[in-house]
Structure 1
């Protein structure tokens, strides 16, 4: 008689995030944006093709910015919070209209709180052990952070053992012209920080950077304009 093996539950992505990610697998990180400017930058990103926007919680009045972007964008956009360090913030993100919790770490309490509230969750992971624990707790996306230290070779190694259905999203040091090696290695999308947005820049600059990233993704995928 063979021993009984408890297999993990099948991966089931968050429907809203999955649709937005399929439309454009680039996550805009608006660290430092203010509520007065948030909607304008959100609209610039959406018009460039982005469908996922996060406001890190170490930004000024982040919940107000999340609410402003949510009101400004169509329903097919996913708006959420980044740098969510404690589970107590999850309910506040949802109350502001957020759909997504992004973290630099893989704290089980935060992941479970996000899933309990019906929100998508993208925990930060830097080792296979962290990745599998995050998936066990219900993660929808694995945020590979920091990408500049992990590199495409780590993405390739992880992809050999992580199911193809699970999105691997490198974050940190991504530019419009370095996405190709990560995609070839098995990455599915990217989180974009200071190369896309820095506090105080105009919405026109955000739009220009966003278009450069969308074009860079097309080139990395070998698509024609």
Structure 2
């Protein structure tokens, strides 16, 4: 999965995305430099959006689903052209199903115990979720034991101006939700928000130096 996270390890979480706007919104975000887009499955007709995004942007971006809660959903995502499974939790049966289907999988973890269980099941990266419940200090402690080549992406409440302490603690990148896209937000607005995150990433990451 790391090739998709370079040079910009920011994941666009498009919760509430409607199929009719999916390509316009997705293109605006991709044009800013994002290379990973996820459509949470509690969005309207999510598999339609995933299919449209995969058809339009599948060679430029890694397209997939978030809020994947069952093994059956994994196959539906694959059937829609998605190649990424993102979860709010670390259910190892879903992780294994995703890997068996040839998909990338990024489970949500809140403790080192969950993190190591997820990695043992085949997780490609870790989603530190919810970030509001954790802290950069906690992530720094994690980094003492989690392999340096494992991508850890805090998700929840991330804004352009809040990335610096997480990067200093060892974050690889971030998942970005409502600060980037929310239902009803126009593509021009989303594009500007995406660019703000890209600018902040390049500026803050350069000042912190590379991590994991």
- TM-score (normalised: structure 1): 0.90
Specify which of 128, 136, 146 is matched with residue 144 of structure 1.
128
**What is residue 25 of structure 1 aligned with on the other side?**
9
Query: Corresponding residue for 2:70?
Result: 86
Measured after TM superposition, the shift of residue 72 of structure 1 is 1.3
Q: Which residue of 1 aligns with 2:88?
A: 104
Work out which of the residue numbers 57, 61, 76 in structure 2 matches 1:73.
57
State the number of aligned residues.
207
Given candidates 35, 51, 62, the residue that maps to 2:19 is 35
Matched, 1:215 2:205: no
- The CA distance in 1 between the partners of 2:92 and 2:58, in whole Å, is 31
User: Could you tell me how far 1:37 is from its partner in structure 2?
Assistant: 0.3
- Which has the larger Rg? 1
Residue 50 of structure 1 corresponds to which residue in structure 2?
A: 34
Residue 20 of structure 1 deviates from its aligned partner by: 1.1
C-alpha contact (below 8 Å) 1:35/1:61 kept by paired residues: yes
Cα distance, 1:74 vs structure 2: 4.7
What is the rounded CA distance, in whole Å, between the counterparts of 1:209 and 1:22 in structure 2?
A: 20
1:205 corresponding residue in structure 2: 189
What SS does the corresponding residue of 2:17 show, helix, strand or coil? Answer: coil
* 1:108-157 deviation line (CA, Å, top 9, x unaligned): 11100000000000000000000000000000010000112201011100
For 1:181, the equivalent position in structure 2 comes to 165
**TM-score (norm. length: structure 2):** 0.96
Q: Give the unaligned 5+ runs of structure 1.
A: 1-16
Deviation at 1:222, TM superposition (A): 2.6
1:156 and 2:126 correspond: no
- Tell me if structure 2 keeps the 8 A contact 1:142–1:168: yes
Per-residue deviation, 1:26: 0.2
